[in-house]
Structure 1
Amino acid sequence: MPQAGEQDRMTHRLVDSPAGRTHVVEQGSGPLVLLVHGFPESWYSWRHQMPALAAAGYRAAAIDVRGYGRSSRPHAVEAYRMRELVADNAAVVEGLGERSAVIAGHDWGAPIAATSALLRPDVFRAVAMLSVPYTPPGGPRPSEVFAGMGGEEEFYVSYFQRPGRAEAEIEPDVRGWLAGIYAALSAGTMPGPDAPDPHFVSPGGTMRERFPAGGELPAWLSEADLDFYAGEFERTGLTGALNRYRNMDRDWEDLAEFRGAPVTQPSLFVGGAMDASTTWMSGAVKEFPTTLPGLSGAHILDGCGHWVQQERPGETNRLLTGWLASLPQQR
């Protein structure tokens, strides 16, 4: 690997966007690769990918999604609908002086990336999705689907819907809650198959009650890493991040014209074999020949949980850089 020069060091900037401003961290030069994180994370979740992308000849740009980190946090709940996030991504590409980009996303970042490719194929020429498979817009109203899950228990997405409710659980101890959710969804620290599922909340309960006891951090997460994430959310609060979940029905309405639409650009999927986001949506993976006709590969990593690019950075980097090298040269 070449020695890091000036252009290979991470640099921070704020770019004008419909959100107000979007915080972007860059490394390297070459074709632009826009990296979109999920919940509850930040640009920092791509810290292992950025040097690898830079070394491979790409300009890696990891954003804080609106509501997170140093990016703007609009007050209105509806400001976090999917179309707004797509507009932010397109504005970042333009603000960085580029006409097009490859976009990659993890967790919530995966559907944000896929929808960016769907709505703005003129800007996003290829898309990689980690953990959450692509499903075309449409189907039943999301709130009705989630309300029907879990029987007497409440699915976490439903739990997040009422403003202030999840915040009241998380914000008194941000660091402890983050450590719990990261451990609960990581290989090696997630609850066993006979333990209560942390994706569901018992009547009158909290998510925290289902997190692993003992406080052991997953192998991929150092105390310093946890300090970084906790510091970001202690400063910003959780409302902006949670507002993404509170717009799923609005997205369903906003994207009605794209119901059933495939993403036709070159694509890549990487998921963890122990990740509920991948296993619950295995049917979506089987539909990839129809929904992702430009798919190069769907890779399910054995022994991997939800935080794919942090749990398995080496494998993720090899898959991403190999896929990027296979794409047509940017014109």
Structure 2
Amino acid sequence: MPQPSVTDRPVHRLVPAPAGRVHLVEQGSGPLVLLVHGFPESWYSWRHQLPALAAAGFRAVAIDVRGYGRSSRPAEVSAYRMLDLVADSVAVVEALGEREAVIVGHDWGSNIASASALLRPDVFRAVGLLSVPYTPPGGPRPSEVFAGLGGPDAEQEFYISYFQRPGRAEAEIEPDVRGWLAGFYAALSADTMPAPGAPDPHFVGRGGTLRDRFPAGRRPAWLTEADLDVYAGEFERTGLTGALNRYRNMDRDWADLAGHRGAPVEQPSLFLGGTLDASTTWLSDAIDAYPVTLPGLTACHLLDRCGHWLQQERPEETNRLLTDWLAALPA
């Protein structure tokens, strides 16, 4: 039998998972909706969605992904491969006494959600993707693709390549976690991102750092000082290595999922993206391919003049679109 849950306030819990534990926050009763955050965030990125989903009649559960917050942080880089994160998603559903769930993810959480739906359709009956479109497994080796994005003279380096070597990005971030996070959030927010034509904050100049291209002294409207306190406090306590290790497993994922090359996700699905979000615009071809790759797609919305952090930048609109989609799903 499903375990009872509260309806009027969020509750923090620790549940068993393959690496030890997953920390989650749940609110509401009804069909389970699992919310999976991206980089560099935590369960807190869903703070606006938890009460909205609970009020709409759902059991909303936001997790700290492995490596973040109060969830376990294994030491091995390989412990952050996608197969392990899918196993964590399944473990949370089982620990909550449920047999199935809808899974919704943002940023890296979108990739985790789509992989969970692809690999475990028996558990995940529908999937919602925010910011990062679904692209089926396959294609060229990721490290080779990202290494080629810096231009013919390698005057700059794509941020994913910059994140690959353990310790390199940490050395930039951890002396001033709060300042780095504030700059990273601002760089990808609609109201504070660099103007068109300015150096792209997704790239590192030769001999430089990512922070060199962050907007200076600008905080996006959605991010209060109290919100920044929460994020900074978590990463100052845990460090960034667990979070960055997700990027360091992309070639492992490519090999692990080779047997699913080109596979569609067939469950009912949702996509929400921001028109100013590079994660959405760079992968516009993936959105165009949805009739083939997401044949169960029932809703697709691009939020005008919205950046990367859409459930925090535009919480009311995201809540409306998400709850409408959930309410329309088959029982």
| TM-score interval, smaller chain | over 0.9
Judge conservation of contact 2:6–2:27 (CA < 8 Å) in 1: no
How many angstroms does 1:164 deviate by?
Answer: 0.2
Aligned-partner SS, 1:188: coil
CA distance in 2, matches of 1:26, 1:60: 6
Judge conservation of contact 2:187–2:193 (CA < 8 Å) in 1: yes
Q: Is the counterpart of residue 27 in structure 1 residue 30 in structure 2?
A: no
Structure 2 equivalent of residue 143 of structure 1: 143
How many angstroms does 1:8 deviate by?
Answer: 2.2
Aligned-partner SS, 2:270: strand
Q: Is the counterpart of residue 170 in structure 1 residue 161 in structure 2?
A: no
Aligned-partner SS, 2:149: coil
Structure 2 equivalent of residue 191 of structure 1: 194
CA distance in 1, matches of 2:240, 2:281: 27
Judge conservation of contact 2:6–2:29 (CA < 8 Å) in 1: no
Q: How many residues align?
A: 324
Structure 1 equivalent of residue 323 of structure 2: 321
Q: Is the counterpart of residue 122 in structure 1 residue 122 in structure 2?
A: yes
1:251-266 aligned at under 5 Å gives the runs: 251-266=253-268
1:1-331 aligned at under 5 Å gives the runs: 7-151=7-151, 152=154, 153-213=156-216, 215-329=217-331
Aligned-partner SS, 1:35: strand
Residues 222-251 of structure 1, C-alpha deviations (whole Å, 9 max, x = no match): 000000000000000000000000000000
**What letter matches 2:101 in structure 1?**
A
Aligned-partner SS, 1:204: coil
Aligned-partner SS, 2:287: helix
**What letter matches 1:22 in structure 2?**
V
Task: Classify 1:202/1:322 alpha carbon distance in 2 versus 1 (closer, same or farther; 3 Å).
Answer: same
Aligned-partner SS, 1:103: strand
CA distance in 2, matches of 1:266, 1:6: 27
How many angstroms does 1:19 deviate by?
Answer: 1.8
Judge conservation of contact 2:31–2:101 (CA < 8 Å) in 1: yes
- Segments of 5+ residues of structure 2 without an aligned counterpart are none
How many angstroms does 1:137 deviate by?
Answer: 0.3
- Segments of 5+ residues of structure 1 without an aligned counterpart are none
Q: Calculate percent identity across the aligned residue pairs.
A: 79
Alpha-carbon RMSD: 0.8
Aligned-partner SS, 1:298: strand
How many angstroms does 1:326 deviate by?
Answer: 0.6
**Structure 1 residue runs of 4+, over 6 Å off?**
none
How many angstroms does 1:286 deviate by?
Answer: 0.2
How many angstroms does 1:6 deviate by?
Answer: 5.2
Judge conservation of contact 1:8–1:29 (CA < 8 Å) in 2: no
